């Protein structure tokens, strides 16, 4: 498969947003545009893009992504409203180049709650072997380096119990399924609309010692058509899909021993809307966590 690599290089203006905020908003725009993941690059990290940059990858084939003009328009609004300078470059790359790009930017182990996430090709350093998660993201989203992934892992570490059933909607690399298995979940299920992501998740689960009888992977949109009920479900996706999924949690969360729902992928500014939707759907909010302008919410069915 061919891909388009979209690199948005940016710099704060004299009265503009701070670099972290600018990077987060550009990353969100790329994810909304269809990027399978984003790389946030500090100045000088790579010779191809020596300035600070956010890099995303979208499929380029028979099903072309939306017109780049839509992304350019959103970037123009961000530049005007937040006062930073930015320019966009686009190039065509192959699968193998995409995977290499991830490896070039994912080199350092990351601590997320009780877990230590590391690239499959890097030594973990001092850590409890039982809580080390090895990830080769390939073409899927989820390395532990993004705040939303880390927030979800912290909440999974706090709320997944031994012998429970766990579901991850939009599983990407499978990292949250692996975290649940490490906490003792008897079975972890994952859904994704992308068959490539499901295959990558399968390989990562096996890489981390999760045997095939303890996990299942289903191609599905927002857990539609999924059978069975779960003690804990997670969704690290995007704001609007999260809102849509909250309304469907009655299909897959257990009603006895109230099921727990962990969601992220949205900005801190949208937290109140998520809390309102969860409350209307009968959830008791357990906790909300934030990091670098991103948020995660955990609730249980009342």
| Binding site members | 149, 170, 192, 236
Could you tell me which residues come within 8 angstroms of residue 160 by beta carbon, excluding any fewer than 6 positions away? 166, 179, 180, 183, 184, 185, 231, 232
- Decide the pairing of beta strands 187-192 and 215-219: parallel
- Torsion angle in degrees (nearest 10) through CA of 219, 115, 134, 190: -10
Helices assigned H by DSSP within the chain: 19-33, 68-82, 95-105, 147-159, 175-182, 195-207, 239-246, 271-280
CB 181 within 8 A of CB 205: yes
Residue positions forming the annotated binding site for S-adenosyl-L-methionine: 149, 170, 192, 236
Give the C-alpha separation, 227 to 81, whole Å.
45
Q: Work out the burial of residue 34: count CB atoms within 10 Å of its CB; fewer than 13 is exposed, 13-18 middle, 19 or more buried.
A: middle
């Amino acid at each position: 498969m061919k891909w388009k690599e979209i690199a948005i290089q940016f710099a704060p203006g004299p009265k503009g947003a701070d670099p972290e905020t600018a990077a987060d908003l550009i990353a969100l725009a790329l994810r909304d545009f269809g990027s399978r993941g984003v790389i946030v690059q500090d100045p000088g990290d790579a010779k191809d893009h020596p300035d600070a940059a956010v890099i995303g990858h979208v499929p380029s084939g028979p099903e072309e992504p939306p017109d780049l003009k839509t992304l350019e328009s959103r970037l123009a609004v961000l530049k005007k409203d937040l006062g930073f300078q930015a320019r966009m470059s686009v190039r065509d790359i192959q699968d193998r180049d995409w995977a290499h790009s991830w490896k070039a930017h994912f080199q350092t182990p990351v601590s997320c709650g009780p877990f230590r996430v590391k690239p499959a090709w890097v030594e973990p350093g001092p850590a409890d072997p039982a809580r080390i998660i090895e990830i080769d993201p390939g073409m899927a989203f989820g390395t532990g380096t993004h705040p939303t992934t880390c927030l979800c892992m912290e909440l999974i570490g706090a709320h997944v119990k031994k012998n429970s059933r766990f579901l991850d909607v939009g599983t990407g690399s499978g990292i949250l399924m692996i975290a649940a298995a490490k906490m003792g979940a008897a079975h972890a299920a994952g859904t994704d609309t992308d068959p490539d992501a499901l295959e990558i998740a399968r390989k990562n689960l096996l890489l981390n010692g999760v045997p095939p009888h303890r996990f299942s992977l289903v191609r599905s949109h927002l857990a539609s058509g999924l059978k069975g009920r779960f003690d804990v479900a997670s969704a690290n996706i995007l704001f609007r899909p999260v809102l849509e999924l909250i309304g469907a949690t009655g299909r897959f969360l257990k009603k006895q021993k109230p099921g727990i729902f962990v969601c992220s992928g949205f900005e801190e500014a949208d937290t109140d809307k998520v809390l309102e939707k969860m409350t209307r759907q009968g959830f008791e909010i357990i906790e909300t966590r934030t990091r670098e302008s991103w948020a995660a919410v955990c609730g249980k069915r009342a």
